[in-house]
Amino acid sequence: MGKTLVIVGGQWGDEGKGKIVDLLTENAQMVCRYNGGNNAGHTVVIGSSMFKFHLIPSGILHKGTMNVLGNGVVIDPQVLLQEIDQLSSNGISISEKNLVLSGSAHVIQQSHIDEDTKKGKAIGTTGRGIGPCYEDKISRSGIRLHDFVKGSSLEAKRLKPFVKETYIIVNDAHSKKQNILLEGAQGTLLDIDHGTYPYVTSSNPIAGGACTGLGIAPQSIDGVLGVFKAYCTRVGSGPFPTELGTEADTMKEKKETLLQKTDFKSAEDGSEYSQGMILRKQGAEYGTTTGRPRRTGWFDIVSARYAFVINGMTGLIITKLDVLSKLKKIKVCIGYDYEGKTISTFPLDGEVLKKCRPIYKEFAGWKDSLETIKSYDDLPKEAKSYLLFIEKELKIPLAILSVGPERTQTLILKKNLLF
Ligand code: GDP
Ligand code: IMO
Ligand code: MG
């Protein structure tokens, strides 16, 4: 009996979806991207090799898996071809046997990139032309792959064999009871309808986006796995209630600067900037797509619960727990203070969210590195109580725990929620 599972980001993107998709693809016959474009950046680490994907689904490293870019995706032909060539030069051959593109996907053009570069600064967009391309799609003036590949450019000729009626391919696989992964890019809080508008991306990363972005029916979906970091990050502008320290443009430290003992001391003494910097450094929180330092903060139960509801999550995946090691105290936001009142539901009015101050519950940290942990029982007791609290608050069973970037640094805890 096959299953169709959605992998969705529960925060502001970069939750580690790529690693999880790669891992789960071992048991999947098909992986489909349903939204976004090359604003996404997914890093997959296997042994000493590191792969970075922007458009091609993170399942491509597994032989025999079909990868699909659905109609909901926007495609920059040059970027896609570069990615195909790079994979080929790494010995992973790409053809229409393992990659198909929906003809209804819209094409990013140079004019979109130019417009995004000019206008996207206030939002802090990735500058890849994503917003302007979706604008043309919605105003019915865009160019779809169907038409693009009728042209005579080299890109058009090279991409033509990949263009198919992907809705047939996806629904056939479902009828044949194959295991299918539907891979969302970005995260719930960046959703154009349900995120922190206007500081959002221009597509629907939420689980519902899988239906519109691929042409698959809601009842064909068997489960939704929500991926969360053990803390929070955000790239670009917009409200971030649990943010520690400052926004990206005023961050002082460089990527190369190493953490000092004094940083841990000032974090213990209560410096939020140092706490945020430790998360950024230990988590290597610099964007895959733009190299920008990611803003960092504590785990936020209020927004996570919202993400759970909006997506109908059936299983919880927590990544990067290892990054919290060595911190003496760890905090989780359990509510917001808004003008003296406590609120526990996520406000969608940006003016309200901006003024929300986090109410924290504090946890004891742990010293040991978690990178070699092989079973849940081996986790420090402090880490277990931290996880248990999140799991209980969100009321979703923890299906996977990730304790390092490598495929092997993963604990599968609830196999029945997976394939
Ligand atoms: P995505 O956009 O959701 O696919 O996430 P990204 O790949 O942009 O960012 C996640 C980063 O964290 C990548 O560099 C991963 O290699 C890395 N990563 C994933 N899981 C873990 C983990 O459990 N621990 C650590 N330390 N790094 C992780
Ligand atoms: P993955 O798939 C994190 C953010 C940008 C900006 C906003 C709008 O790797 O999780 P856009 O270029 O989409 O118009 O920018 O959305 N953003 C992401 N942040 N991870 C991503 O993707 C993102 N894709 C877009 O930083 O704030
Ligand atoms: Mg990313």
Question: In this structure, are 96 and 211 located in the same domain?
Answer: yes
Pocket test for ligand 1, best of 19, 55, 320 (most atoms within 8 A of CB): 19
Whether residue 210 lies inside any domain: the answer is: yes
Cα separation, 31 vs 21, whole angstroms: 8
Q: Work out the percent of the chain whose per-residue pLDDT is above 90.
A: 89
Whether residue 151 lies inside any domain: the answer is: no
User: What is the pLDDT at residue 246?
Assistant: 63
Q: How confident is the model at residue 267 (pLDDT cuts 50, 70, 90)?
A: very high
User: What is the pLDDT at residue 229?
Assistant: 98
User: What is the pLDDT at residue 38?
Assistant: 97
- What is the pLDDT averaged over residues 11-25? 96
| Ligand 1 neighbourhood includes 186 CB (under 6 angstroms) | no
CA distances from 69 to 36, 145, 399 (A): 10, 11, 26
Which positions are annotated as active-site residues?
14, 42
| Ligand 2 neighbourhood includes 16 CB (under 6 angstroms) | no
The token duo for 241 is 């209630």
The token duo for 215 is 């042409």
17 C-alpha to ligand 2 centroid (Å): 13
Q: How many CB atoms lie within 10 A of CB 355?
A: 15
Question: In this structure, are 175 and 266 located in the same domain?
Answer: no
User: For the domain that residue 393 is a member of, what is the CATH number?
Assistant: 3.90.170.10
Cα separation, 411 vs 361, whole angstroms: 26
Q: How confident is the model at residue 247 (pLDDT cuts 50, 70, 90)?
A: low
Whether residue 131 lies inside any domain: the answer is: no
- What is the pLDDT averaged over residues 111-138? 96
Whether residue 160 lies inside any domain: the answer is: no
Cα separation, 238 vs 200, whole angstroms: 8
Q: How many residues does the chain have?
A: 419
The token duo for 160 is 């033509």
- Contact partners, residue 311, CB within 8 Å, separation at least 6: 6, 8, 10, 188, 206, 207, 208, 224, 226
Cα separation, 133 vs 122, whole angstroms: 18
Q: What is the pLDDT of residues 179-210, one digit of tens each?
A: 999 999 999 999 999 999 999 999 999 999 99
User: What is the pLDDT at residue 142?
Assistant: 98
Question: In this structure, are 217 and 269 located in the same domain?
Answer: no
Q: Is the pTM of this model over 0.85?
A: yes
Q: Say which range, 177-186, 216-225, 263-272, has the weakest mean pLDDT.
A: 263-272
Q: Say which range, 98-107, 158-167, 291-300, 318-327, has the weakest mean pLDDT.
A: 291-300
What is the span of the domain harbouring residue 65? 4-101+165-221
- What is the pLDDT averaged over residues 299-314? 98
Whether residue 303 lies inside any domain: the answer is: yes
- What is the pLDDT averaged over residues 97-107? 98
77 C-alpha to ligand 2 centroid (Å): 19
Domain total of the chain: 2
| Ligand 2 neighbourhood includes 208 CB (under 6 angstroms) | no
Residue 139 has phi, psi (to 5 degrees) of: -90, 10
Contact in structure between 403 and 394 (CB atoms under 8 Å): no
Last residue of a domain, one of 221, 246, 266: 221
Cα separation, 68 vs 78, whole angstroms: 18
Pocket test for ligand 2, best of 201, 233, 247, 290 (most atoms within 8 A of CB): 201
User: What is the pLDDT at residue 251?
Assistant: 64
- What is the pLDDT averaged over residues 393-397? 96
Question: In this structure, are 240 and 343 located in the same domain?
Answer: yes
Last residue of a domain, one of 221, 240, 268: 221
SS (H, E, C) the chain: CCCEEEEEECCCCCCCHHHHHHHHHCCCCEEEECCECCCCCEEEEECCEEEEECCCCCCCCCCCCEEEECCCEEECHHHHHHHHHHHHHCCCCCCCCCEEEECCCEECCHHHHHHHHHHHHHCCCCCCCHHHHHHHHHCCCCCEHHHHCCCCCHHHHHHHHHEECHHHHHHHHHHCCCCEEEECCCCHHHCCCCCCCCCCCCCCCCCHHHHHHHCCCHHHCCEEEEEEECCEEECCCCCCCCECCCCHHHCCCCCCCCCCHHHHHHHHCCCHHHHHHHHHHHCCCECCCCCCECEEECEEHHHHHHHHHHHCCCEEEEECHHHHCCCCEEEEEEEEEECCEEECCCCCCHHHHHHCEEEEEEEECCCCCCCCCCCHHHCCHHHHHHHHHHHHHHCCCEEEEECCCECCCEEECCHHHCC
- What is the pLDDT averaged over residues 289-318? 94
Residue 272: burial class (beta carbons within 10 Å; 0-12, 13-18, 19+): middle
- What is the pLDDT averaged over residues 244-265? 76
CA distances from 24 to 58, 59, 174, 225 (A): 10, 8, 17, 11
Last residue of a domain, one of 196, 221, 246: 221
Question: In this structure, are 206 and 314 located in the same domain?
Answer: no
Q: Say which range, 27-41, 100-114, 237-251, 295-309, has the weakest mean pLDDT.
A: 237-251
Contact in structure between 243 and 295 (CB atoms under 8 Å): yes
- What is the pLDDT averaged over residues 284-289? 82
- ∠307-311-316 over CA atoms, to 5°? 70
Question: In this structure, are 67 and 215 located in the same domain?
Answer: yes
- What is the pLDDT averaged over residues 334-352? 97
- What is the pLDDT averaged over residues 87-110? 96
User: What is the pLDDT at residue 258?
Assistant: 86
User: For the domain that residue 66 is a member of, what is the CATH number?
Assistant: 3.40.440.10
Q: Whose CA is nearest to atom 1 of ligand 1?
A: 14
45 C-alpha to ligand 1 centroid (Å): 9
The token duo for 103 is 């003809």
Mean pLDDT of the chain: 95
User: What is the pLDDT at residue 257?
Assistant: 80
Question: In this structure, are 217 and 240 located in the same domain?
Answer: no
Cα separation, 331 vs 343, whole angstroms: 18
Question: In this structure, are 269 and 183 located in the same domain?
Answer: no
Question: In this structure, are 200 and 327 located in the same domain?
Answer: no
The token duo for 23 is 């891992």
- What is the pLDDT averaged over residues 35-58? 92
User: What is the pLDDT at residue 306?
Assistant: 98
59 C-alpha to ligand 3 centroid (Å): 15
Whether residue 327 lies inside any domain: the answer is: yes
pLDDT at 244 over 70: yes
